[in-house]
Amino acid sequence: MLFICLKQIRDLRDINNYVRINTNQIVTVQLVFILLTKMSLLVNTPKYLKYVYKLSGILQFSETDSSVYQRLWCLPFYGYLIYLCVNYNISEYKTKQVFLLIDKFTNLANMLMIIIYFISCHRRSNNLKNLLTEVSNFGIFNLKISKRNWSRIILLTLLLLCLCYLPIQRNGLQKTFYIYLSPNLFQCLDLLFLNDLLNPITIKFQQINRILKKQKSSILCMQQIQNLSHLHHDLVNLTTKIVNNFDVTITVALAVWFESMIETIYYLIFLTKNDTKHSYVFYFSNFTLLLLCYSWLFILIGTLANVKSETDRTSTHIHDIWNFYACNRKIDARIRNLEFVSLQLLNTKLKFTPMNLFTLDWSFCHLIMASIATYVVILVQFYI
């Protein structure tokens, strides 16, 4: 029985044989596979990054069991942030009236962000674990991604650069970390975690599209296309559920990001206009922070747009199959059924709308850039 199950596991890795195994056999194969191998829910995430996720509270579930201690990893870090929040007294710093208001608003935004992130990451942990288990046990098995993850490299490099500038800041290491870097740290780690969750799903969509693309040059198997469309539909639902768990954190991160961008740009314009004496390292550190913020937004929208483009490509491949046979006048009942499959896929398109407030796409990116420019101009006219 064990050798039969192992053979079925090898067959299950091939999506072409997925439809030939009945439901009971699939359940048996998955159970044996889990017993024989210690399956990781985050296949393409390095170990060091998993520990960073745990220490920052982004990852609060265990990949192998449901131990409670996994939720305790982040308590020292959150305790330190609460300590900085309580001991931070903005009145100690002699600043202009407009900067006093901006710093108070920044302090309040950071407090709310820390509380919301801690609660949201705690509440979504069990739900994300169940969804990742569904993705891991899906008909198309996870593949180890060999190509470089440039999004991860860019964000981590910019974060490390910002950390290197902390000791040379005028306001002190703790204040600079709490006010300027801690929001970006949460935003970047949460985005990297979302990127790690969506990468295996994107690979699965690419596998489906690769098989559909080959159907034009092979014998048409309507049953296989039908099952691939069902797999596609289930993957779209899983992707939507996973991204919905990040609705609150993405919305809060965008609000804090928007405020931070306006403040940093206005601050640099103010210093340049008033000829304030600062070293080149100071300006370079602020430009690095701006580059980190812009990279975060572009990578966030680019990650979601990449998944969406792969899902939309599936309906295009099915339409190409139908068009190939229609042009050769080989239309029959099977080919007509492709029209219904194509319509079904067109009605299951991905749309990322955090809390139904806005749609995360490149048009939203253009809109928020224009809004930042507008508010910076208003502040410059108000006081400079």
Instruction: List, for residues 322-357, the tens digit of each pLDDT value.
Output: 777 777 776 666 677 777 777 777 777 788 888 888
CA distance 263 to 88: 19
Q: Is 220 helix (H, G, I), strand (E, B) or coil?
A: coil
Q: Whole-model pTM?
A: 0.81
Could you tell me if residue 326 is inside a domain? yes
CA distance 66 to 73: 14
- Within 10 angstroms of residue 311's Cβ, the number of other Cβ atoms is 21
Asked if 127 and 269 sit in the same domain, the reply is yes
pLDDT in tens, 294-312: 999 999 999 999 999 888 8
- Within 10 angstroms of residue 383's Cβ, the number of other Cβ atoms is 11
164 in Cβ contact with 232 (< 8 Å): no
Band (266; pLDDT cuts 50, 70, 90):
confident
Tell me the two tokens of residue 43. 């296949």
Give me the pLDDT at residue 188, please: 92
CA distance 156 to 37: 31
CA distance 243 to 354: 8
- Within 10 angstroms of residue 43's Cβ, the number of other Cβ atoms is 19
Could you tell me if residue 98 is inside a domain? no
Tell me the two tokens of residue 114. 């820390």
Average pLDDT score over residue span 221-225: 75
Could you tell me if residue 108 is inside a domain? no
Asked if 255 and 367 sit in the same domain, the reply is yes
Would you call 82 exposed, middle or buried from its count of C-beta atoms within 10 A (0-12, 13-18, 19+)? middle
CA distance 181 to 178: 6
CA distance 195 to 199: 6
Could you tell me if residue 70 is inside a domain? no
Q: Give me the number of domains the chain comprises.
A: 2
Give me the pLDDT at residue 298, please: 94
Could you tell me if residue 77 is inside a domain? no
Phi, psi of 146 (to 5 degrees): -90, -25
Amino acid at 315: S
Could you tell me if residue 43 is inside a domain? no
Residue 89 exposure: Cα atoms within 13 Å on the Cβ side: 3
Average pLDDT score over residue span 235-249: 91
Could you tell me if residue 301 is inside a domain? yes
Q: For the chain, first and last CA: distance in Å?
A: 78
Could you tell me if residue 329 is inside a domain? yes
Asked if 278 and 149 sit in the same domain, the reply is yes
Band (3; pLDDT cuts 50, 70, 90):
very low
Give me the pLDDT at residue 29, please: 37
236 in Cβ contact with 345 (< 8 Å): no
Give 6 or 365, the one with higher predicted confidence.
365
CA distance 289 to 223: 53
For the chain, helix, strand, coil in percent to 5 are: 80, 0, 20
| Domain extent at residue 31 | 1-37
